[in-house]
Each structure stands twice: as C-alpha cells, then as structure tokens.
Amino acid sequence: MHWFLLCGIDVIAAKHRDIISDTDSVGFIIDMGDTALIYSGDTGWSEKIEESYKQVAEKYKDKYKLLVAHLGGLKETEINYMNKEVDREKVFYPNHLGRLGLVKINEIVKPKICFISEFGEELKGYRIKIAQIYQEAFENEIIFFPADIGLTFNLKSKMVEAVTKVNLEKYELSKAEIEPEKIGTCFLRKDYSLHYFKKDGDFDKDELTQVLDKHYDSSNR
C-alpha cells in the first residue's frame, strides 16, 4: 500500500463511443519511479490520439515502459491503409486500436513489453499467433505477450511467472519468475485459457498441455 501511494497517475485521452454512454473512455499512466505502466483503455486511433501518445513517449522516454494495449478486433477498412485515395482517419478501427492502431502506438511509445489485451471473441484461438506476428514485425525490439488472467508480471524484478517444470507422473507444475524474453505461451483448447512457460525448459508444450488438461478436468468435476 505504501509503495502504491508513491506512484503518480496521469490520464490520457481515448476515443471510444459507446452505445449506452455518451462519454469516451480514458487511458492512464502509472509512474512508478523507474517504470511507467501505460494503459490504453478502449480507444480508436486518430491524429489527436497520436499526438497525445507522442507527448507520453517524450515525458516517459527515460523509463522502463510497459504498455497494456486493447486490440479489440480487426476491421476490413484497415486493409485500405496504403490506399492514398482513402481518408486515413477512416481506415482505423473507430473504437479500438485494431491491427493498425496497435502498430502505431508501439512505434510511438517504444515500450520494453507490450501486453496485448481485450481480444475480440473471434480471435481467441489466434492470440498467440497475433503476438508472434507483431514481435517479428518489430524485429524483437519489443516483447509482445497475449495477455490473459494467468499472466503475472513482477513490477520490481521485471520478471514473468512461468511454468519451469512439468511432472507427468504426478500431474504437477512448478513455477518461477523468468526473464520475459525466455517466456513461451500456449493455450488450453478446452477453455482457450493462456499459459506461460519457460521456453528452454526440460519439457515440451505437449507435456504441459497434458497436465493443464488434467487440472482442467479435475476442477470441473
């Protein structure tokens, strides 16, 4: 609690029109000394939003930056990005970052890690692949994680809690904090939950999935 009171909080503009509300959402930045946690909230992308994030990038340029960015979904209009005859403002997803807004916000903020959050339901089976595509596009200069309930990041150690050992005989898992760049992600098809593991551990994803599958069945008896 005392640590949280030492944090500073800034609010950042967002562009999100809701059917049941006539006000926009907001994003925020939590300044924790050497670290800044930047949360986009629900927002589309526009010149105004872009300018806001340029100011954020300048203000927090010397900090270890973590970005939590709401993808939302994908829109057909985004494929017109390279078409110079189309209004650039109209190619972006109006209420969420979408695939283009997610690129723009990372280009500007340049975080150490981007946690991609709030995937559309239609993308639940593609979250890992989407994160991999972005990481490859940014040539591993930014680490991209598909964020889910099971993702735990230690703000002090800058490490991710991950599975480090799998015991198939006892169906047990051991976890420890691991450097973000050494983390792999898998999902359990039964509930599409995401799970994080040490990539160079002495087990493979099939063994991990077997244990996760067993745990899932046991919890639903």
Query: Would you kindly state where each structural domain of the chain is located, as residue ranges?
Result: 1-147, 149-221
Whole-model pTM: value is 0.91
Can you name the residues that pair with 26 across neighbouring β-strands? 13
How far, in Å, CA of 160 to CA of 196, rounded? 8
Report pLDDT for 20.
64
Report pLDDT for 6.
56
CATH superfamily of 1-147: Ribonuclease Z/Hydroxyacylglutathione hydrolase-like (3.60.15.10)
Report pLDDT for 81.
86
Tell me the two tokens of residue 80. 């017109």
Tell me the two tokens of residue 10. 């800034």
Secondary structure (3-state) at 38: strand
Q: What are phi and psi of 190, to 5 degrees?
A: -60, -35
How far, in Å, CA of 101 to CA of 92, rounded? 7
Report strand pairing: 113-119 vs 64-72: parallel
Report pLDDT for 3.
46
Tell me the two tokens of residue 202. 């002495």
- Which region, left, alpha or beta, applies to residue 74 given φ > 0 means left and ψ of -120 to 50 means alpha? beta
> How would you write the pLDDT of the chain (221 residues) with one tens digit per residue?
344 445 789 999 898 876 666 666 889 999 999 999 999 999 999 999 999 999 999 999 999 999 999 999 998 888 888 887 788 778 998 889 999 999 999 999 999 999 999 999 999 999 999 999 999 999 999 999 999 988 999 999 999 999 999 999 999 999 999 999 999 999 999 999 999 999 998 999 999 999 999 999 988 87
Can you name the residues that pair with 183 across neighbouring β-strands? 198
Q: What is the DSSP string of 4-19?
A: HHT-EEEEEE----BT
Report pLDDT for 2.
44
Report pLDDT for 90.
84
